[in-house]
Amino acid sequence: MPLRRLSILPVAVATSWLFTVGLPTNASAQITPSADAYTRNANPGTNYGATGLLSVEGCGAATYTHFDLSSIPASVSVTQATLKLYVNAVTTPGAINVRYVNGAWATDTISSILAPAHGALIASNAFLIASDKNQYVLVNVTPAAVAWLNGSEANKGLEPVADGAIKNS
């Protein structure tokens, strides 16, 4: 799957969508997404799975991404997992929260109408400011990787969302 861009408005972020899992004995794995898309409440029936942009806005947009962890044995003890985001622009400072996706979805069919419910919070307040532009930001999502690998949480993906404080201008 090609690398996609994530745009968080008014905080804009592009991402390589790398999911890095730290394993014991200093081994690590970088995983690209097996699926990704975004939705916009302003166009509730539109599917944005084929666009080169992924968008999260303070009001009305959400991004969905899924990582296939089948290459990592369930017996592995994960020491750290991070979501690596590249920041394109920050027009208004704000935070990104990352939630579990709480239902089935597909890149080519998801829309606001068909989007699964928001899942539990994994990471909160990855705060972005103007000086983060053209930098990578790492969000700790270790609890998700651990839960997916030990089977205590179904792997339906991650949903980076803008904190409610971020408003569209």
Q: Do residues 68 and 31 make contact, with C-beta atoms less than 8 angstroms apart?
A: yes
* pLDDT score recorded for residue 110: 95
* pLDDT score recorded for residue 6: 35
Of 43-52, 102-111, 148-157, the one with minimum mean pLDDT is: 43-52
* pLDDT score recorded for residue 7: 34
The tokens of 43 are what? 């166009």
* pLDDT score recorded for residue 80: 83
Which one is predicted more confidently, 49 or 23?
A: 49
Q: What's this model's pTM, rounded to 2 decimal places?
A: 0.79
Which one is predicted more confidently, 126 or 152?
A: 152
Q: Would you list the DSSP string of 1-32?
A: ----EEEEESEEEEEEEEEEEE-STT-EEEE-
User: From the CB of residue 143, how many other CB atoms can be counted at a distance below 10 Å?
Assistant: 18
- Tens digit of each residue's pLDDT (9 = 90 or more) over 72-125: 876 777 888 888 877 776 777 788 889 999 999 999 999 999 999 889 999 987
Instruction: Provide the CA 126 distance to its chain's centre, in angstroms.
Output: 12
Average pLDDT of the chain to the nearest whole number = 77
> Is it the case that residue 59 has pLDDT exceeding 70?
no
- Cα 53 to Cα 5: distance, rounded to the nearest angstrom: 5
* pLDDT score recorded for residue 108: 94
Which one is predicted more confidently, 99 or 134?
A: 99
